[in-house]
A and B are shown apart, each in its own frame.
Chain A
Amino acid sequence: DVKVTQSSRYLVKRTGEKVFLECVQDMDHENMFWYRQDPGLGLRLIYFSYDVKMKEKGDIPEGYSVSREKKERFSLILESASTNQTSMYLCASNRDQGATEAFFGQGTRLTVV
């Protein structure tokens, strides 16, 4: 059974904290993605990576960075968490860029207080 696993389902962090969201996939996929989902705004792409140590900005990268040191792991970093980063974060992966389906993690609901 293929899997994308996110490290936490729920997180509560304080404003100004550095926050790490971890995502691991066991399908040997080249591509990994981080999205955030907000009511009325849908899934918005934050960052993606198509290879180890490679990263590309998505539509809303401000306030975030990413790390991909190993093929199976893609980390999203909130350098200094702010309340407007309270959201549901979804990690996804796929092979062959757009030609194959993406598999999603279960999501991390982050609250910044």
Chain B
Amino acid sequence: ILNVEQSPQSLHVQEGDSTNFTCSFPSSNFYALHWYRWETAKSPEALFVMTLNGDEKKKGRISATLNTKEGYSYLYIKGSQPEDSATYLCASLNQAGTALIFGKGTTLSVSS
């Protein structure tokens, strides 16, 4: 079973704080790394899909980096807002490259 690890498990920050989470995955047979945001009572929604070592992607105040050689990705949120409160999931492809395997997620809570 492919092991995708996320840390921390949960995080509580104040509005305006910047924060980051880590996703680690096996670096062998790497195909792609996905980040999703899952808000309460909604479906998970894709933030980024990254495939190349050194990839950096940005969407508004959220950005992500990818290191496929060492098997990790960081998700950054600049100036957290209460609406950023959600569970952030990362996923990597299984060894056959056919299915997404998810980490357990990082749950972010932002207080105003």
Interface residues of A (CB under 8 A from B): 4, 31, 33, 35, 40-45, 48, 50, 56, 58-59, 90, 92, 94, 97-107
**Which residues of the partner chain A approach B51 to less than 8 Å between Cβ atoms?**
99
A12 to B106, CA, bound (A): 29
The smallest C-beta distance from B34 to any residue of chain A, in angstroms, reads 7
Chain A residues whose C-beta falls within 8 Å of the C-beta of B36 in the assembled complex: 102
**Chain B contacts for A90, CB-based, 8 A:** 43-44
Tell me the complex Cα distance, A90–B43, Å.
Answer: 9
Closest CB pairs A-B (n = 4): A101-B46, A42-B104, A98-B93, A104-B43
Q: Give the residues from 35 to 79 in chain B that come closer than 8 angstroms, CB to CB, to chain A.
A: 36, 42-46, 49, 51
- B89-A33 in contact (CB<8A): no
Q: Given that A97-B93, A99-B32 are contacting pairs, would A33 and B46 also be in contact in the complex, using a CB cutoff of 8 Å?
A: no
Known: A98-B97, A102-B100, A105-B43. 6 other contacts (CB 8 A): A45-B94, A45-B102, A56-B98, A58-B99, A99-B51, A102-B46
Are A97's CB and B97's CB within 8 A? Answer: yes
**In the complex, A56→B98 CA distance in Å?**
9
A42 near B103: Cβ-Cβ < 8 Å: yes
Interface residues of B (CB under 8 A from A): 1, 31-32, 34, 36, 42-46, 49, 51, 89, 91, 93-94, 97-105
Closest residue of B by beta carbon distance from A58: B99
**Contact of A101 with B49 at beta-carbon distance under 8 Å, contacts A42-B104, A106-B43 already known:** yes
CB of B34 within 8 A of CB of A48, answer: no
Contact indicator A107/B89 (Cβ below 8 Å): no
In the complex the two chains form, is B89's CB within 8 Å of A43's CB? Answer: yes
Task: Tell me the bound Cα distance from A100 to B13 in angstroms.
Answer: 31
Asked whether A42 and B89 contact (CB < 8 A) given A101-B34, A102-B34, the answer is yes
Contacts A59-B1, A99-B49, A101-B46 known; A43 to B102 CB distance under 8 Å?
yes
A63, B110: Cα distance in complex, Å: 39
Name, among A50, A104, A105, the residue most crowded by chain B CB atoms within 10 Å (CB to CB). A104
